[in-house]
């Protein structure tokens, strides 16, 4: 079979770096020893790949494989292609074709009868699989913008995730993907935060909050049973930026919420979404659901995180084979309710700088929240302005699909960040607000690289700024 000429982005040639995989095996990590976390073994991965492909593919994905008519209409929906218009390998259809051709050759019949006629093709060996790895991890943030722009309804974003999942099973993944998966399998959270560090950081935030509010009434309860709200967070909040935990605690306190955080099962993020590994996805999501079960919490509330929301609210139940029994919502929805019910009061004149809102793909395109964050922002900010395009048509922050953890693809990611930079610049805003921790980092990278005069904030930070504290003793609702 004639080999196609390689992509011009250079990303496609990134080698497979399996050093930390080898180390994990040598160290005898339980997740590796028990076969949950797969590591790379040179050998016949081609056969295993093809078996997995045939075994795993579902009906919605199989029709996405067959339905594409090569019309090219999806090209201009993808920020990779928009930023590199002379590079056809940046189009969603080309990327999807790299798995599609294997499907046609080995699963579909047209490609078996006359492969060259429909451009079906196989994989020769690990080198080809490594190229595929670079395409599905390195040139796509799985943001599903193309999905919404394909007239045929082909779900390229999901095809990319599916392909990632096959490669993850073989350990043919970027080093960062392996490392984060390992940490989440091993420690239950993707940044390997220990229980001690988790608890101590919560105490620290509680103390800071007590100083700020001048009352010992405030608490960040842990493992308190029978609460209305079980609050789950992103480990980044513990490890590097716990201010958001304090904001949430302050809001819960003022709203008189009965809430708790779990000692275990507190990580609502889920690297299984990015690596395509449904088993990891199931494990992490189940931890959260079982924490709520164990503590008899009435509701699961997810801190501001795009992929965490999508994973915990939408995909996780299905991955885990766990029927949803309790409401599971984003903290932004919770806050919106507090505002509507008058449980907290805010003064928008405390946030005067012009603010724009960046819709997280995982929330706007693969989830349901579009108007909710805007309603909150309109109440807490004096100058809110839309970015264009917006809502489910917004462009990815460029850091989606776990790309922030894959350093080797960063130059390309920043290059195609031009689209986001132009979009941000045109708003004239000084603050860009997003309800996703991942987007915060993705946007920060774009802002720094393109030297934009913008600061990234999250919804809770703006709400917390705008909070009007009741005069002491005036609060009537029970605080807990």
Q: Examine residue 206 and tell whether it contacts another protein (CB under 8 A).
A: no
Cα 1 from chain centroid?
A: 37
The answer to whether 313 and 281 are in contact (CB under 8 A) is no
Q: Which does 44 bind (CB under 5 to 8 A by kind): ligand SF4, another protein, none?
A: none
Coil, strand or helix: which one is 307?
Answer: helix
CB of 347 to ligand SF4, least distance (A): 29
**CB distance 165 to 282 below 8 Å:** no
The answer to whether 135 contacts ligand SF4 (rule: CB under 6 A) is no
Binding of another protein by 265 (CB under 8 A):
no
Q: Which of 362, 390, 405, 423 binds ligand SF4 (CB under 6 A)?
A: 362
Tokens 């299984």 locate to: 272
Q: CB of 314: closest distance to another protein in angstroms?
A: 6
Is residue 60 a contact residue for another protein (CB under 8 A)? yes
Backbone φ, ψ for residue 33 (5° rounding): -60, -35
Q: How far is the CB of 181 from ligand SF4 (least distance, A)?
A: 17
With contact defined as beta carbons under 8 Å apart, do 64 and 161 qualify?
no
Distance CA 312, CA 317 (A): 7
How far, in Å, CA of 245 to CA of 464, rounded?
A: 11
At closest approach, how far in Å is the CB of 248 from ligand SF4? 20
Nearest CA to 458 out of 403, 397, 414, 401 is that of: 397
From the list another protein, ligand SF4, none, pick the one residue 279 interacts with, judged by a Cβ distance below 5 to 8 Å according to partner type.
none
- Binding residues among 216-235 for another protein as defined by CB under 8 A: 235
The correct pick among 133, 145, 182, 286 for binding ligand SF4 (CB under 6 A) is: 145
Q: Least distance in Å: CB of 120 to ligand SF4?
A: 16
Please count the other Cβ atoms lying within 10 Å of the Cβ belonging to residue 465. 16
x/- site string to ligand SF4, residues 93 to 112, per CB under 6 A? x-x-----------------
Quote the radius of gyration of the chain (alpha carbons, Å).
Answer: 23
At 355 the three-state DSSP class reads strand
Q: Which two tokens stand for residue 11?
A: 């990303």
Q: Which does 214 bind (CB under 5 to 8 A by kind): ligand SF4, another protein, none?
A: none
Stretch that binds another protein, among 134-142, 160-168, 178-186, 254-262 (CB under 8 A): 178-186
Contact positions with another protein (CB under 8 A) in 319-358: 321-324, 327-328
Among 14, 50, 92, 328, binds ligand SF4 (CB under 6 A): 92
**Could you tell me if 120 and 104 are in contact, meaning their C-beta atoms sit under 8 angstroms apart?**
yes
Phi, psi of 452, deg, nearest 5: -95, 150
Contact between 54 and ligand SF4 per CB under 6 A: no
Instruction: Verify binding: residue 396, ligand SF4, rule CB under 6 A.
Output: yes
97 in Cβ contact with 119 (< 8 Å): yes
The distance of closest approach from Cβ of residue 254 to ligand SF4 in the complex, given in angstroms and rounded to an integer, is: 28
d(CA 436, CA 306): 5
Choose the stretch contacting ligand SF4; rule: CB under 6 A; options: 35-43, 238-246, 322-330, 360-368: 360-368
The separation between the first and the last C-alpha atoms of the chain, rounded to the nearest angstrom, is: 68
Name the residues that contact ligand SF4, by CB under 6 A.
68-74, 77-78, 80, 92-93, 95, 140-146, 150-152, 154, 156-157, 160, 306-307, 360-362, 396-397, 399-401, 436, 438-439, 442
């Amino acid at each position: 079979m004639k080999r196609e000429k390689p992509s011009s982005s250079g990303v496609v040639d990134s080698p497979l770096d399996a050093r930390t995989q080898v180390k994990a095996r040598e160290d005898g990590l339980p997740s590796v020893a028990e076969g949950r976390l797969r590591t790379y073994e040179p050998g016949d991965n081609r056969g295993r790949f093809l078996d997995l492909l045939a075994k795993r593919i579902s009906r919605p994905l199989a029709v996405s494989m067959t339905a594409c008519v090569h019309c090219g209409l999806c090209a201009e929906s993808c920020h990779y292609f928009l930023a590199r218009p002379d590079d056809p390998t940046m189009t969603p259809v080309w990327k999807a074709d790299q798995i599609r051709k294997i499907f046609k050759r080995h699963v579909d019949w047209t490609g078996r009868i006359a492969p060259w006629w429909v451009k079906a093709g196989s994989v020769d060996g690990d080198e080809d699989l490594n190229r595929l790895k670079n395409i599905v991890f390195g040139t796509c943030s799985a943001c599903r913008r193309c999905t919404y722009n394909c007239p045929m309804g082909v779900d390229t974003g999901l095809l990319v995730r599916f392909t990632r999942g096959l490669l993850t099973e073989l350990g043919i993944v970027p080093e960062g993907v392996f490392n984060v998966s390992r940490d989440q399998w091993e420690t239950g959270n993707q940044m390997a935060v220990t229980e001690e560090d988790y608890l101590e950081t919560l105490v620290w935030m509680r103390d800071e909050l007590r100083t700020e509010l001048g009352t010992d009434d405030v608490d960040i309860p842990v493992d308190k049973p029978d609460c209305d709200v079980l609050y789950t967070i992103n480990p980044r909040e513990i490890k590097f930026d716990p201010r958001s935990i304090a904001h949430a605690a302050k809001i819960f306190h003022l709203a008189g919420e009965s809430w708790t955080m779990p000692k275990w099962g507190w990580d609502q993020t889920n690297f299984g979404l990015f690596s395509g590994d449904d088993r990891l996805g199931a494990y992490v999501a189940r931890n959260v659901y079982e924490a709520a079960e164990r503590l008899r919490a009435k509701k699961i509330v997810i801190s501001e995180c795009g992929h965490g929301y999508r994973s915990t609210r939408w995909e996780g139940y299905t991955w885990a084979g766990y029927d949803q029994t309790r409401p599971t919502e984003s903290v932004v929805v919770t806050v919106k309710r507090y505002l509507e019910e008058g449980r907290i009061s805010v003064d928008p004149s405390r946030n005067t700088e012009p603010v724009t809102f960046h819709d997280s793909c995982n929330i706007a395109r693969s989830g349901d929240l579009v108007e909710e964050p805007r309603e909150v922002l309109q109440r807490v900010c004096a100058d809110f302005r839309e970015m264009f395009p917006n809502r489910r048509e917004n462009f990815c922050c460029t850091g989606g699909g776990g790309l922030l953890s894959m350093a080797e693809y960063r130059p390309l990611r920043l290059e195609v960040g031009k689209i986001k930079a132009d979009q941000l610049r045109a708003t004239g805003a000084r603050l860009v607000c997003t309800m996703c921790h991942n987007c915060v980092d993705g946007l920060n990278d774009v802002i720094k690289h393109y030297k934009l005069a913008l600061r990234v904030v999250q919804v809770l930070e703006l709400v917390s700024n705008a909070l009007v504290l009741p005069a002491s003793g005036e609060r009537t609702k029970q605080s807990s």
